């Protein structure tokens, strides 16, 4: 018998539990994804900490703390993957612009800014406003740019 699974409903149910559990370990879940791939369900949780790098022990602690609770809330067999977001992770939500404030990023624009020809910049994410967009300090010339949210094609963490 085929079971209908509403992944968004499941995500809405489990997200507060995951956020509270991560918070107990002073961690932030920057992405929680529940998806079916090759006939198997995967729950992927990417953790971040403002103070330190994510360790294997962090991932294990969150996994152990969640396992029993998640099994009660997810009505299908699934594979749980808990990890760090990676060094040059592409941003997948607006929340990440706020979390990674002060970090080095590479940003790709849909259209060049007025008076510019380039669409890709490397610099520091100075600030982010959900209405206005982001304030960005461009490394190559030390200029601070205001980039409208509507002109951001993609952004990712940048490592020298």
CATH assignment at residue 21: 3.30.300.70
**pLDDT 10s digits, 75-116:** 999 999 999 988 778 888 888 898 888 889 999 999 998 888
In a domain, 89, yes or no: no
Mean pLDDT of 15-35: 95
**pTM > 0.75:** yes
In a domain, 1, yes or no: no
Are 100 and 123 members of one domain?
A: yes
In a domain, 31, yes or no: yes
Are 44 and 73 members of one domain?
A: yes
User: Residue 118's domain is classified under what CATH number?
Assistant: 2.30.30.180
In a domain, 88, yes or no: no
Question: Quick one: tokens of 118?
Answer: 């380039």
Of 144, 141, 158, 152, the C-alpha closest to 109 is: 152
Please give the mean pLDDT across all residues of the chain: 90
Are 52 and 19 members of one domain?
A: yes
Are 14 and 76 members of one domain?
A: yes
**What confidence score (pLDDT) does residue 1 get?**
42
**What confidence score (pLDDT) does residue 130 get?**
86
**pLDDT 10s digits, 42-74:** 999 999 998 888 999 999 999 999 988 999 999
**What confidence score (pLDDT) does residue 44 get?**
96
In a domain, 26, yes or no: yes
In a domain, 12, yes or no: yes
**What confidence score (pLDDT) does residue 110 get?**
93
Number of domains in the chain: 2
Q: Which long-range contacts (CB under 8 A, 24 or more apart) does 3-9 make?
A: 3/75, 3/76, 5/36, 5/41, 5/75, 5/76, 7/34, 7/35, 7/36
Q: Which domain holds residue 34?
A: 7-83
Confidence of residue 12 (pLDDT cuts 50, 70, 90): very high
Are 76 and 138 members of one domain?
A: no
Confidence of residue 32 (pLDDT cuts 50, 70, 90): very high
Confidence of residue 2 (pLDDT cuts 50, 70, 90): low
Of 58, 61, 51, the C-alpha closest to 102 is: 51
Are 77 and 100 members of one domain?
A: no
């Amino acid at each position: 018998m085929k079971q209908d699974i509403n992944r968004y409903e499941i995500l809405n149910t489990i997200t507060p539990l995951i956020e509270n559990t991560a918070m107990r370990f002073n961690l932030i879940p920057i992405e929680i994804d529940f998806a079916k791939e090759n006939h198997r369900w995967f729950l992927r949780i990417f953790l971040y900490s403002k103070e330190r790098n994510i360790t294997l022990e962090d991932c294990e602690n969150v996994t152990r703390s969640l396992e029993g609770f998640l099994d009660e809330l997810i009505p299908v067999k699934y594979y749980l993957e808990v990890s760090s977001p990676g060094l040059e992770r592409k941003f997948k939500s607006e929340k990440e612009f706020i979390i990674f404030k002060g970090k080095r990023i590479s940003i790709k624009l849909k259209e060049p800014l007025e008076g510019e020809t380039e669409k890709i910049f490397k610099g520091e994410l100075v600030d982010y406003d959900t209405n206005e967009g982001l304030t960005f300090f461009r490394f190559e010339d030390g200029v601070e740019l205001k980039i409208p949210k509507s002109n951001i094609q993609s952004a990712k963490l940048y490592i020298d």
